[in-house]
Structure 1
Amino acid sequence: MRKTSTPGLRMKTRQAVTEALAETALELFDTTGFDQVTVADIVAAAGISQRSFFRYFSNKEEVVFGDRIPSAEEVRDELLRHLDENPTWEALRNTFRAAAVQMDDDRGHWQRATRVICQTPGLRARYLEKHLAWSDALVPEIAHRLDQDTPSAELKAQTMINAALGCFDVALMHWSDGTQSLSLADLVDDVFDFVHFPHA
């Protein structure tokens, strides 16, 4: 009995420590600036050793990104869940709204992480790399649905996906300042309403 329960308990403990350490670091990044905060500053605030920090994170960037930002495959799978029953633009809206709902569930963490990313050029560049990976994964799925027999299908797909990513980013930036009463999911809906793709 003990052998079967121990791994689960260890996993829960590790996850709790990882999350607590990340929140401590993000608070420092948010108030002081990512580049100004060192690992030594983080471990001092958390009351642990640097050796312990590196058991959970390989570097400061991993504290901000970790494994919380969806992979390209996860975003593609979410899109595929919506494509069969919705017009293409609505499927994209629903895809990013699903991500927004998850972020609303951990509002404080994501607002702080977003502010840190936006204020740090190196982190912003890494975030945009993830956008490019998402786009690469989504373009074939959207192009398959749009004018399959014309050379413009991929161009239209890229336009729609980049517009969707832009809408999500606009909503995210406004939400992250902490002054919005709306949820991120509602902001995503509002911003997507500003853009229309006829016959898509």
Structure 2
Amino acid sequence: MRETTTPGLRMKTRRAVTEALADTALDLFDTAGFDQVTVADIVAAAGISQRSFFRYFSNKEDVVFGDRIPTAEEVRDELLRHLGTGPAWDALCATFRTAAEQMDADSGRWKRASRVICNTPGLRARYLEKHLAWAGLLVPEIASRIGPGPGDAVLKAQTMLNTALGCFDVAIARWAESDTDRPLAALVDEVFGFVRIPHD
């Protein structure tokens, strides 16, 4: 019994320490700016050694991103759940709304991380790299479901996806800077509602 529960308890403890350390770092980044905060600053605020810090994170960027940003495969799987039940644009809206709901479930941490990313060019570039990875898997899925008609299906899919990503980013930026309790999912609905994509 003890042998089977100990690894689980260790994982829970590691997760709790990782989250507490990330919260300390995010507070510093959000207040002083990512580039102005050093690992030494973080460990001093957390009351741990630098050696301990590097047991949990390989660098400062990993504190911000960690496993928060979904992988391309995870986003594709979510998109596939919605494709086939309606237009591809509606499937994209539903996909990003699901992501927003997950962020709303941990809004305090996500808001801080989003502000830090939006206000730090280097982190913003890394975030956009993840968008490119998403596009590599999502565009073929969308293009394959666009009905026959004039125009290049891949070009349509690329336009559709990048429009959706832009809508999602606008919603996140507004939400991260807002001091209201309005859910990100509601903002995503509003922003996506401003765009009218013809049914594919």
Q: Find the aligned partners of 2:181 and 2:15 in 1 and give their Cα distance.
A: 30
In structure 1, the partner of 2:88 is 88
| C-alpha deviation, 1:148, in angstroms | 5.2
In structure 1, the partner of 2:41 is 41
Q: Find the aligned partners of 1:199 and 1:132 in 2 and give their Cα distance.
A: 24
Percent identity over the alignment?
73
Unmatched runs of 5 consecutive residues or more in structure 1: none
In structure 1, the partner of 2:12 is 12
- Deviates most, 23-32 or 190-199: 190-199
Letter in 2 for 1:191: V
Q: Would you say the 8 A contact 2:89–2:199 is kept in 1?
A: no
Q: Find the aligned partners of 2:21 and 2:164 in 1 and give their Cα distance.
A: 33
CA deviation vs aligned residue, 1:31-56 (integer Å, no higher than 9, x gap): 00101100000000000000000000
- Gap change, CA 1:148 and 1:15, over 3 Å in 2: farther
TM-score, normalization: structure 2?
A: 0.97
TM-score, normalization: structure 1?
A: 0.97
In structure 1, the partner of 2:160 is 160
Q: Find the aligned partners of 1:193 and 1:63 in 2 and give their Cα distance.
A: 33
- Gap change, CA 1:77 and 1:108, over 3 Å in 2: same
2:25 counterpart of 1:25: yes
Q: Would you say the 8 A contact 1:111–1:178 is kept in 2?
A: no
| C-alpha deviation, 1:180, in angstroms | 3.7
Q: Would you say the 8 A contact 2:114–2:176 is kept in 1?
A: yes
Letter in 1 for 2:59: N
2:190 counterpart of 1:190: yes
Q: For residues 90-169 of structure 1, what are the structure 2 equivalents within 5 Å?
A: 90-147=90-147, 152-169=152-169
Q: Find the aligned partners of 1:145 and 1:138 in 2 and give their Cα distance.
A: 11
Q: Find the aligned partners of 1:73 and 1:180 in 2 and give their Cα distance.
A: 32
Q: Would you say the 8 A contact 2:171–2:187 is kept in 1?
A: yes
| C-alpha deviation, 1:136, in angstroms | 1.2
Q: Would you say the 8 A contact 2:29–2:116 is kept in 1?
A: yes
- Deviates most, 118-127 or 173-182: 173-182
Letter in 2 for 1:189: D
Q: Would you say the 8 A contact 2:93–2:192 is kept in 1?
A: yes
Q: Find the aligned partners of 1:148 and 1:154 in 2 and give their Cα distance.
A: 12
Secondary structure of the residue that 1:142 maps to in structure 2? helix
| C-alpha deviation, 1:149, in angstroms | 7.6
Q: Find the aligned partners of 1:45 and 1:14 in 2 and give their Cα distance.
A: 19
Letter in 2 for 1:79: L
